[in-house]
Amino acid sequence: MRVLVTGAAGYIGYAVGRRLVAAGHEVDGLVRRATGVPDGVRPVHGDLLAPDGLPRGPYDGVCHLAALTRVRESFDAPLRYFTANVQGTVNLLEAVDADRVVLGSTAAVYGTPERQPIPESEPAAPTSPYGASKLAAEQAVRFHARTGAIGAVVLRTFNVAGSVDGRVDPDETRLIPKALAVAAGRAPHLELNGDGLAVREYLHVDDLAAAYVRAVEAVRPGEDRVYNVGSGAGAAVREVVAAVEEVTGRPVPVRRRPARPEAPVPLCDATAIRAGLGWRPDRSALPEIIAGAWNALVRAGG
């Protein structure tokens, strides 16, 4: 297949492009700069907000990863998030000739449901501009698919971590990169709210990339599928800190702050993607995730 990956130089887009090449596909990577794509991916310059310059194809499939993704930042710049995530997706659908689209979405579309783990049948109720913008992008892709123009798969991702090819997760607002920065001496301590018993789950970025390959290979024109993608295995914050200390052999000093009300961290029910695509995570055990991320940080000079 000939596949276009948007955001191919990003943390997840790089992993997806790498997996597609390994599976034997011809891959173009939509980027703003020609650096940072995996070996075997042909960089194509373009901007989703300047559709006249986008590649036209034809493509057998598109994996759409280019997006703004920070929840807290989205409250300060909601219009920027809607422009990038919704208008950028519409521009892609209008400009690029493709038979199928796999859209990278997020568990943030669910908001803060009481039901855990979360199945795809849980009503979407986003509580942030980021989550709302991704839900709108989903709807654009899914309604377009229902016209028969494309086949569509939406992959709602939970927490992603780990490393491929020595690439570091650039977002140090996330727990594992923050804890590793402390272990590396780049920060004096890790700040935790409360007792550290809040549970999070983690999925290796390479396992997520494998889900994209299965999705783009499986979907057919006119189909409209939505899958959660997560490990389903939770770990308390203090378990993550202990695992970072064990893997790195270095202390992670913790500064505790008073507990404060926090939205529950969503846990993934991945039953549907296991049944529909035969996908299962192979690399998402917490020690492997942390070891890969730590080695990447060390190689990067951290």
Residues with a known catalytic role: 130
* Spatial contact of 103 and 152, defined as CB atoms under 8 Å apart: yes
The 3-state DSSP class for residue 37 equals coil
Where do we find the tokens 């780049």?
186
Q: How far is CA 82 from CA 39, 132, 287, in A?
A: 32, 8, 36
Helical (H) or strand (E) element with 106: strand 100-106
d(CA 235, CA 255): 19
* Spatial contact of 232 and 116, defined as CB atoms under 8 Å apart: no
Q: How far is CA 137 from CA 57, 89, 121, 213, in A?
A: 21, 6, 18, 20
d(CA 302, CA 298): 5
